[in-house]
Structure formats: structure tokens, C-alpha cells
Amino acid sequence: MQRLTDLDRAAYARDGYLCLESWLAADWVDRLSAVADRFVERSRSLTASTPDILLGPGHTPDRPMLRRIPQTVAFDPLFEDFGLRGPLVDLAEDLLGPDVRFHHSKLNFKSAGGGEEIRWHQDIPFWPHSNYAPLTIGVYLCDVDADMAPMGVFAGSHRGPLHTLRDAQGVWTGALSDDEAARLDGAQLRWLSGPRGTVTVHNCRVVHGSRANLSPRMRPLLLHTYAPCDAIPLTRIMDPVKFGNVIVRGGPPAYARFDAEPCPMPPDWGAGDYSSIFSVQQEKLG
């Protein structure tokens, strides 16, 4: 594993994100891709989503359209080993300190020829914690170029305002409003392309999203969210999920650490009520 440099840590503190090209060893990428391919093949026999495979609009056996494998660590032993004990845990420790909690994981597919747009949003209003240290680490399982809807981030937006992800009537949409999005500084937008094995890191307050994937190539992005153990989850969103909120490095905190700035809260989905950002945004915004 490549350890982060002081310059990397300074860039993360300043910009709220990192894009580490070809960071993950090819052997890991090969094995993770093989598991992802097996899920795609299984999806061909499905006509509706299952707990481990969320289908997208227009899915057919000949043209699989997958949205997501939720909580990947719960559905395959290689995914479990990678997310709970693999090199991403070392990377999380490098940025968060010695005591690290795994929050959740997912594999977003962005299927070819129509993988859905993810509108601009921040992560922390989906799953509030007592402070704003949680981060998400992504792994590109294939080469991702500008045509494949790479993730876009607004550099420095983690130091900007928190957004409620609700419309003018207070209805949860899971996205910034059009007015809020219009106020983003376009000069700070960075599209995170890279070869397979590229790893992205973004803080939970960074505004990010991605366009629809209109290319003929699927864009699988494997995502894991980690937090320092003193960042205490404030909702029940992960309560019923296997391995949700487990400590993967170090030990439990002696004290919870609270940020002074209040965090917007999501709807009270309860245990198991939340599906995915895809369904939330598409249902509310179309």
C-alpha cells in the first residue's frame, strides 16, 4: 500500500478530497472486479430488485442495468475482507487517526447507456454524525474517462455551508436545490477521472455528484465510508445492516466528539426504510 504523504494530507485538509491514481494494487482490482461481474451475471435472471442487487430502470437480461449492490461487505466474503480489513482501512487510519469505525459500503454501477445522474449533494445529511470527520473512499474498478460520468467534487466545499437537501417546502429530495447549485463556484469543480485502481477520498461535507453515464461502458465505483470512533452516528439508518458501524481499527472512544455546527437531519427512515440515493432523487426530482 502507498502511504499518504504530508502533501496528500495537506491537500485533503485544504480541498476536502483526494484522487490517487492507480493507488490500489492490480491484484485487488482484478479480484474485486470478478466479484462485481458475478453480481452482474446474477442480475440477468432478475425482474425486480433483491436485498443485494438494486436494479435500475430498463433492466433486461440482455442489457443489465444495475444501480447498486448495497452494503457490499454483507454479501460477499472478498468484499467483506476488503472493506473491513483491507488497504482502505489503512488509508482511513492515515486520515482519521488510530480508532476507525466502518459505517457502510456500496458498489454503484452507473450502467452503460443510461446510468443515472447523481445530483449535487453532501453525504452527511443522509447519515448525520456528531462531527464532520467521516469520509468516503471510492475505488474505480475500470478505467474511467471524462465520457463515463466520473465523480465531480467542488474543491473546498467542505468548508462551505451545510445544505438541508430539502426543497422550498421542506420536502427531502437528497439534493441541493437549483438555486443552491447555481451558487456553487464552477472554478472549483473537479472531475475525478483515472485508470482502474484509482482511489478517491472525499469528506462528508464535500459537495459532489455525477452526470448520467451515456457512454457504452459501465462505470462501477466501489465506495466505503469510515469515521473516527469518536464520530457517533445519530440515526438508525444502519441498525439492521450486517457490519454497519463496526470498529475496524483501534477501540471505542472514551468520549464522543461534537462539532459546534448543527447538522441537518434526514427523514426518520427508521431501520431498513432507506433504499438508495438513486431512488430518493429520482422519486422526488425525476
**pLDDT higher than threshold 90 for residue 189:** yes
Contact 109, 54 (CB under 8 A): no
| Cα 159–Cα 270–Cα 164 angle in degrees, nearest 5 | 25
Which pLDDT score is estimated for 274? Answer: 57
Q: What is the pLDDT of residues 236-270, one digit of tens each?
A: 887 778 888 999 999 999 999 999 999 999 988 76
Looking at residues 183-191, what average pLDDT do you find?
97
Q: Which of 217, 11, 194, 31 is nearest to 111 (CA)?
A: 217
Q: What percent of the chain has pLDDT over 90?
A: 82
- Domains annotated for the chain, with CATH where assigned, are 6-285 (2.60.120.620)
Own/partner pairs, 179-183, CB within 8 angstroms, 24+ separation: 180/120, 181/119, 181/120
Q: Is 37 left (phi over 0), alpha (psi -120 to 50) or beta?
A: alpha
Mean pLDDT, to the nearest integer, of 90-116?
Answer: 92
Three-class SS state of 54? strand
- Residue 31 banded pLDDT, cuts 50, 70, 90: very high
Looking at residues 46-63, what average pLDDT do you find? 92
Q: By the 8 A CB rule, do 79 and 19 touch?
A: no
pTM of the model: 0.93
Predicted pLDDT at 238? 78
- Three cell numbers, residue 213: 453515464
pLDDT digits (tens, 9 = 90+) for 3-14: 899 999 999 999
What percent of the chain shows pLDDT beyond 70? 93
Q: What is the pLDDT of residues 105-138, one digit of tens each?
A: 999 998 888 778 899 999 999 999 999 999 999 9
Q: What number is the average pLDDT over the span 184-202?
A: 97
Question: Per-residue confidence at 40, pLDDT binned at 50, 70, 90?
Answer: very high
pLDDT over 90 (residue 36): yes
